[in-house]
Structure 1
Amino acid sequence: MSRTRILYPLSAALATALALSACKKPEPTPPPAPAATTPEPAPITPPAASTPAAAVTTVDLGNSVGADNRVAAPATTFAPRDTIYASVATRTADASASVPGKLSAKWTFQDGQTVHEESRDLNLTGDGVTAFQISKPDGLPAGRYKVEISLDGSVVQSKEFEVK
């Protein structure tokens, strides 16, 4: 009987504890912590369309140039003993500012073989014309040729021509 006396009060205490825990209101979940506020990024402004400082506007080929370095009569077919000129017209974005640049001409024969290369360091101002030339005392071999004009290392124009 002593056992029963202890068992009943313990059972009653356990039942009461369970009943109270089952009736207990759940604790409200705390609201989520506010997200760390990051400053809104500044709007990205697209870069203004930049005008190149200098540009090659035209390339003309001929067998003579005037005092202004312009080709007198443009041509695409030449004789083997002709001196062939490439007249390269340039223009700067700001006609009042001097723009440094490197202008180059690369002359190649039909299989891509380089015949002649020439470069000039220039201070371009406004509009200008530069002449490059190629010739051989014993005559250029007959065939198809090309001249590539580069400004600051980038090919900007090319012209094909023929020697007959």
Structure 2
Amino acid sequence: MRKTVFLPVLVIGLVVISTLTGCGKKEEPKPAVDTTAVTTPPPPPEPPKPSVASVTLAKGMGQDKSPVDIASEFKPKETVYAIVRTDNAVAGNVIGAKWYYTKTNQEVGADSISLKDNGMNMTDLKLMNKKGMPAGEYKVDISLNGEVVKSEMFKVVK
């Protein structure tokens, strides 16, 4: 008799277990994980830096600060103009000139101007000596905010 009781209990137990597991709550599928890397946008580009685009030596300057009578040779009593074009300038940038007599490497003049406008600027710096400059070779060093960025050579002839 024991066998007959055991078998129906076993069958009923299996039916209950299979019913319970079949009725169990199904798990929702997990959402797909985004595997793309999170990237931060690149920083904005730095604004262009101020630069000296050109230096032109001339005997005069127009009202628009353009060079007049471009030259590399000057008379002893002529004024030498260094017309400096700056790009991407910021108001307050300083353009400077130091003038040298190259035979002795002696500084014969210095000039500087603080820019008033942003962007492109035309600036004039000049060397003049009412008594006259000795004949020979000269150099002008042009600086932007204290750093020499361009040099130009010229001659004074009798």
Q: TM-score range by the shorter chain?
A: 0.5 to 0.7
What does 1:33-44 correspond to in 2, within 5 Å? none
Structure 1 position 53 matched with structure 2 position 49 = yes
Using the TM superposition, give the Cα deviation of residue 118 of structure 1 relative to its aligned residue in structure 2, in angstroms.
Answer: 1.1
Q: Deviations over 1:19-46 (max 9, x none)?
A: xxxxxxxxxxxxxxxxxxxxxxxxxxx9
- Is 2:99 aligned against 1:103? no
Write the letter of the residue equivalent to 1:107.
W
1:139 aligns with 2:135: no
Q: Aligned partners of 1:99 and 1:137: how far apart in 2?
A: 33
Partner of 1:72: 68
In structure 2, the residue corresponding to 1:72 is in which secondary structure?
strand
Q: For residue 151 of structure 1, what is the aligned residue in structure 2?
A: 144
Q: Please tell me whether the aligned partners of residues 76 and 134 of structure 2 are also in contact (alpha carbons under 8 angstroms).
A: yes
**Structure 1 pair 107/90, CA: closer, same or farther in 2 (3 Å)?**
same
Alpha-carbon RMSD: 2.3
Matched with 1:13 is: none
Unmatched segments (≥5 aa) in structure 1: 1-45
- Determine which of 85, 88, 92 is the counterpart of 2:88: 92
In the superposition, the TM-score normalised over structure 1's length comes to: 0.64
For residues 144 and 81 of structure 2, the distance between their equivalents in structure 1, rounded to whole angstroms, comes to 18
Q: In the alignment, which residue of structure 1 is the partner of 2:7? A: none
Query: Structure 1: how far apart are the matches of 2:51 and 2:109?
Result: 23
User: For residues 95-118 of structure 1, what are the alpha-carbon distances to aligned partners after superposition, in whole Å with 9 as ceiling and x for unaligned?
Assistant: xxx443111000000121100111
Alignment-derived partner of residue 8 in structure 2 = none
> Gaps (5+ residues) in structure 2?
1-41
Aligned equivalent of 1:115: 108
Residue 91 of structure 2 contacts residue 114 of structure 2 at CA under 8 Å; is this kept in 1? no
Deviations 1:108-143 (A, max 9, x none): 001211001111122332211000111111211101
What SS does structure 2 have at the residue aligned with 1:150? strand
Segments of 4+ moved more than 4 angstroms: 46-52
Query: 2-side partners of 1:47 and 1:81: how far apart?
Result: 54
Identity %: 37
Task: Give the total of aligned pairs.
Answer: 117
Q: Which amino acid aligns with 1:103?
A: I
